[in-house]
Structure 1
Amino acid sequence: MQIKDKRVIVTGAANDLGLTFSRELLRNGASIIVLIDIRQPSGEQAVENLNNEFGRKRAVFLHCDVTNNSEFDATFKEALKILGGLDILINNAGVINELDYSKAIDVNVTAVIRGTLLGIQQMRKDSGGKGGVIVNISSIAGLRAVSQLPVYSATKHAVVSFSRSFAQPYHYDRTNVKVIVLCPGLTSIPVLEDLPQGISSTDILQKNQKVDSVAHGLIYVIRCAQNGSVWISEDEKPVYEVLLPDTLPQKKTEINVKEN
Structure 2
Amino acid sequence: MFLVRHFKIFSRCFLPNQCCTPVRKVSTSVHLFKRKDDVYIQRMTERLMKSSCRDCDFPLRMDPKYKVAIVTGGETGIGLAAASDLLANEAQTVVLAGVCEGEAAVKQLNEEHGEGRACFMHMDVNDSRDLEELFYRVNMVFGGIDIVFNNAGILEDHIWEYEVDTNLKSVIRGTLLGLDYMGKNGRGKRKGEGVIINHSDTMALEGLPYAPAYSATKAGIIGATLSFGSKYHYNQSGVRVAGLLSGPTNTDLVQKAGEKQIDPEWGRLLVAYLSEPPPQSPAVVGRAVSYLVKYAPPGSLWTVDRGELSVTKIPKRRVLNTKVTQL
TM-score by length of 2: 0.73
**Please, which runs of 5 or more residues in structure 1 have no aligned partner?**
256-260
The offset of 1:174, in angstroms, is 1.2
Counterpart selection for 1:31 from 84, 92, 99: 92
Aligned length: 252
RMSD of the alignment, in Å? 1.7
Deviation beyond 6 Å, 4+ runs, structure 1: none
- The answer on 1:98 being equivalent to 2:98 is no
Aligned-partner Cα distance in 1 for 2:320–2:192 = 40
Identity among equivalent pairs (%): 33
- The answer on 1:203 being equivalent to 2:272 is yes
Q: Encode CA deviations 1:65-116: one digit per residue, 9 max, x unaligned.
A: 1111122222332222232200000000010111111111011001101111
Instruction: Say if 1:254 and 1:90 are closer, same or farther in 2 by CA, change over 3 A.
Output: closer
Aligned to 2:306: 235
Instruction: Say if 1:184 and 1:250 are closer, same or farther in 2 by CA, change over 3 A.
Output: closer
**Please, which runs of 5 or more residues in structure 2 have no aligned partner?**
1-61
Instruction: Say if 1:251 and 1:223 are closer, same or farther in 2 by CA, change over 3 A.
Output: closer
Letter in 2 for 1:132: G
Aligned-partner Cα distance in 1 for 2:174–2:260 = 25
Determine which structure has greater relative contact order: mean sequence separation of CA pairs < 8 Å that are 6+ residues apart, divided by chain length. 2
- Show the 5 A alignment for 1:38-187: 38-40=99-101, 43-127=102-186, 129-187=191-249
Aligned-partner Cα distance in 1 for 2:73–2:279 = 22
Instruction: Say if 1:247 and 1:158 are closer, same or farther in 2 by CA, change over 3 A.
Output: same
Aligned-partner Cα distance in 2 for 1:225–1:117 = 19
Contact 1:209 1:234 in 2 (8 A): yes
TM-score by length of 1: 0.91
Letter in 2 for 1:160: I
Aligned to 1:194: 260
Of the structure 1 ranges 48-57 and 103-112, higher mean CA displacement relative to structure 2 is found in 48-57
Instruction: Say if 1:144 and 1:122 are closer, same or farther in 2 by CA, change over 3 A.
Output: same
